[in-house]
Amino acid sequence: MFDLTGKTALVTGASGGIGAAIATALHAKGATVALHGTKVEALEKLAASLGDRAKVVPANLSDPAAVEQLAKEAEAALGQVDILVNNAGLTRDTLILRMKDEDWQTVIDVNLTAAFRLSRALVKGMMKRRFGRIIGITSVVGVTGNPGQVNYAASKAGLIGFSKALAQEVASRNITVNCVAPGMIQTAMTDVLTDAQKEAMSSRIPAGRLGSADDIAAGVVYLASDEAAYVTGQTLHINGGMAMI
C-alpha cells in the first residue's frame, strides 16, 4: 500500500519541519523528490541525508518569475512532476489594526499565489500524462480562524477553495487536488513557546499533545498514493481532535 516507486514529487518549503518530514516520507515510499526552499544549506543537508533520488531546487516564492523558473527546474531535475506538495508558508501575525499592507501581501503571495502559479505550470504535464497529485498544506485556522492571523487564515482558507475548484477542473484527467490541514504541530515555530504556553495549547487538544511533523507527512503520503485515487477536493484535518469539521 501507498507505494510511490517511480513517482516524482516537488515539495515546497522542504527546509521547514513539516516540509522536511513530507519530503522524507515521500522519499521513503520510493519517490524521487525535489526539495524547494530558501535555506539552501538546510536543503543540501536534507538531500544528503536522503541520498539518491533527492534534488535541491531553491527559489523565492514571492517572485513570480522565480516561481515559473522553479516549475521548469523541478521538471528538468525530475524529468516530470507527478506530485506537487504546496507546503511553503509563512506568517506575519498581528492584529488587523496593526497589520500593514505588506504583512498581508507577503503572506498571500507565498502561501496562496505561489501555489496557484506552481499548480498552473505543473498541471499541464499532469494533464498530458493523465496522472497527478496536487496537495496543499493548509491549516486548521483556515477553517476556524484565529485572532492575529487574518492574513494567514485568509491564505489557508484560500488554498482550500482553490483546491476544490481545481479538483473539479482536472478530475477527469486522473489528477486529484486535496489539502492537509495540520492543527498544532511541534516544529521550530512552537519550540520557542514556554512550557506553560504549550500546556495551555495541549489542554485544548483532545489527544492531549501537539502533533508531530510525521503525523502530517503520513496524510500527504496517503493522498499522493494510488490508493487515494478517488479522493479529491477534500481537506484532511490532522489535529488530534482540536477541531472536528
The catalytic site residues sit at: 152
Q: Which of residues 38-67 bind other proteins (CB under 8 A)?
A: none
| Alpha-carbon span 77 to 56, nearest angstrom | 9
Note whether 6 and 30 are within 8 A (CB): yes
Q: Which of residues 113-132 bind other proteins (CB under 8 A)?
A: 124, 127-128
| Alpha-carbon span 139 to 142, nearest angstrom | 5
Q: Which of 2, 173, 193, 218 binds other proteins (CB under 8 A)?
A: 173
How many residues line the site for other proteins (CB under 8 A)? 7
- Identify which of 119, 52, 51 has the alpha carbon closest to the alpha carbon of residue 85: 119
Note whether 84 and 159 are within 8 A (CB): no
Rg (CA), the chain: 17
Q: Give the contact letters, 125-164, x = binds to other proteins (CB under 8 A), - = no.
A: --xx------------------------------------
Distances (CA, A) of 126 to 23, 81, 119, 177: 20, 8, 10, 12
Q: Which is nearer to other proteins, 128 or 209 (CB)?
A: 128
Largest CA distance in the chain: 52
Q: Which is nearer to other proteins, 3 or 169 (CB)?
A: 169
Q: Which of 137, 170, 184, 242 binds other proteins (CB under 8 A)?
A: 170
Which pairing describes strands 32-35 and 8-11: parallel, antiparallel, or unpaired?
parallel
Min dist CB 116 to other proteins, Å, is 17
Kindly indicate which of the ranges 83-91, 114-122, 170-178, 223-231 contains the residues binding other proteins, using the contact rule CB under 8 A: 170-178
Q: Which is nearer to other proteins, 41 or 169 (CB)?
A: 169
Q: Which is nearer to other proteins, 127 or 201 (CB)?
A: 127
- Residues near other proteins (CB under 8 A) are 124, 127-128, 169-170, 172-173
